[in-house]
Amino acid sequence: MIHPVILSGGVGKRLWPVSSQNNPKQLHKLFNDKTLLQNTYNRVLKGFDRDNIFVVTNKNLVDSIKDQLDIDDKNILTEPQSKSTAIAIGLAAAKIKSIDPEANLVIINSDHFIKDEEQYIDLLRRGEAYLDGKYNDKFILAGIRPSYPETGYGYIEVGQKLENNLFLVDSFKEKPDLATAKEYINDGFLWNSALFFFKASNLLDWYAQYLPQLHQALLAIASDFSPDIIAKEYKHLEDISIDVGLLEKMDDILVMPSDISWADIGHWRSLRDILKKGDDNVSNTKNLVTVDSHNNLLYSFNNKKLIATVGVEDMILVETDEAILLCPANRAQDIKALLTEIKNKGFDKYL
């Protein structure tokens, strides 16, 4: 049986000022009347039983998640502090293995946009079928065939074909510049969707080999999963992603290419690109007047003010009760650097 695990503990710094430490992006409504987390959870529910779906989050967000989702307490896995994905995924694997020793997992991010939900469920089922068959000892991920040269995503270099629509991974590539992204597309590279499939017991074995300190911590946690033990072990663990800690060290990872319409809403420009039609502006408010302005994202989470623009092109404007962000769309990924500067200036309350 496969258990979908939704990661919902991150902050999403590049969607500041809407996304903050105590109210991150996955809890906000950005493109319809549901939050990113609600969209993700409801999408997974279309293919899987509620009792088998888990959400991993940090202790500060548990109440918000309960407010947004119809989910049992036992299906919320709580981290005492936010660290990167290796420990969050490891915690889920250890917990679900204690419930179902033969469990398969699919790891899902809470902030992804999917247009064709039926095709998405088919993709998850395909990964499940591989784990139930002769590839039950493998780490499998879904790779998305690129529709344009995105510089904000990681890429997968596709290797040997194993069977129809299943390949070995040759290598992972970090976020490229534009010229390199174009080369990757010409060479048949895929976007890394961070949709991961594996057997829970296998993940713990791989951690024992490649991340032994984390593996030892998970063994201690699995002794009773008490909040005190989890908090004690978390204090000493390295903050490392599963990509760096595990995937880049393994040489037999498999990838399933897919043509689903997918996007990681990792920054404001990506949201604009998902929603825009032609050179139209994208906005969430009717209090908007523009003259000779195109390809902008103009968002207000105040809705009391009029947004008016003249001659503005390819810009991001986001307004909340406490802050206003303005930047060129092609600099949307640099917001993390801006937050560092905000902190250095002593404006921590806005983070």
Please answer whether residues 274 and 262 qualify as being in contact, where contact means their C-beta atoms are separated by less than 8 angstroms. no
Question: Can you identify the CATH homologous superfamily of domain 2-266?
Answer: Spore Coat Polysaccharide Biosynthesis Protein SpsA; Chain A (3.90.550.10)
Going from N- to C-terminal start, the domains of the chain cover 2-266, 269-350
pLDDT in tens, 54-112: 999 999 999 999 999 999 999 999 999 888 899 999 999 999 999 999 999 999 999 99
pLDDT in tens, 182-226: 999 999 999 999 999 999 999 999 999 999 999 999 999 999 999
pLDDT in tens, 239-296: 999 999 999 999 999 999 999 999 998 899 999 988 988 889 999 999 999 999 999 9
- Look at residue 66 in the predicted model and tell me its pLDDT: 96
Asked if pLDDT for residue 21 goes beyond 80, the answer is no
- Look at residue 62 in the predicted model and tell me its pLDDT: 95
